[in-house]
Amino acid sequence: MKPFKANTLILGAGPFIRDLLAEIERHPACRYRIAGVVAWEDMDEAGGCGYPVLGTVDHLHRIIQQHETQVIIVAPPDGSAKVTDRQLLEARVLHNVRVEHAQAVYEQVTGKLPLETFAPEDVIYSNDFQPNRTALMATRLLSLGFAGAGLILLAPLMLLIGLLIRIDSAGPVLFSQERSGLAGRPFKLLKFRTMEPAEEQQSEWEEDNVHRITRVGRWLRKCRLDELPQFFNILNGDMNIVGPRPHPSSNFELFVLAARNTPESGIQIPYYSMRYSVRPGITGWAQVRYRYANNLNEEMEKLRFDLYYLKHYSLWLDIRILVETVTMIFARSHRVQDQTTDRLQEQALVPDTATDLPDMAGQIHPAADRPRQQAFRRRNVA
How many other C-beta atoms lie within 10 A of the C-beta of residue 16?
16
Query: DSSP code of 83?
Result: H
pLDDT at 331: 81
- Residue 251, in any domain of the structure: yes
User: Does the residue 121 lie in any domain?
Assistant: no
Number of domains in the chain: 2
Distances (CA, A) of 151 to 188, 193, 244, 318: 18, 18, 22, 19
Residue 86 and residue 83: Cα distance in Å, rounded? 5
How many degrees, rounded to 5, is the angle at CA 174 between CA 203 and CA 360? 65
Q: Over the stretch 345-375, which tens digit does the pLDDT of each residue have? A: 555 554 443 333 333 333 334 444 444 444 4
- Spatial distance between the Cα atoms of 283 and 224, rounded to a whole number of angstroms: 9
Same-domain check for residues 137 and 77: no
Angle at alpha carbon of residue 96, lines to 91 and 102, rounded to 5°? 65
**Is pTM, for the whole model, over 0.85?**
no
Question: Do 84 and 222 belong together in one domain?
Answer: no
What's the whole-number mean pLDDT along residues 94-100?
Answer: 90
**Residue 50 region by backbone torsions, left for phi larger than 0, else alpha for psi between -120 and 50, else beta:** left
Residues 143 and 283 both lie in one domain: yes
- DSSP string of 328-349, one letter each residue: HHHHHHHHHHHHHHHHHHHHHH
User: Which CATH number belongs to the domain containing residue 20 in this structure?
Assistant: 3.40.50.20
144 in the same domain as 87 = no
The CA distance from 21 to 96, in Å, is 23
Claim to verify: residue 27 and residue 149 sit in the same structural domain: no
Sheet holding 71-74, edge to edge: 53-56, 32-39, 6-11, 71-74, 98-101
Residue 19 within a domain: yes
* pLDDT for the residue numbered 285: 96
Q: State residue 118's pLDDT score.
A: 81
Does 105 lie in the same domain as 152?
Answer: no
Query: Is the residue at 81 inside a domain?
Result: yes
Asked if residue 288 belongs to a domain, the reply is yes
- Tell me if 119 is assigned to some domain: no
Q: In terms of residues, how long is the chain?
A: 382
Domain that holds residue 165: 133-321+360-376
- Determine, yes or no, domain membership for 330: no
Query: Are residue 10 and residue 80 in the same domain, yes or no?
Result: yes
pLDDT digits (tens, 9 = 90+) for 143-183: 999 999 999 999 999 999 999 999 999 899 999 999 999 99
In a domain? residue 117: no
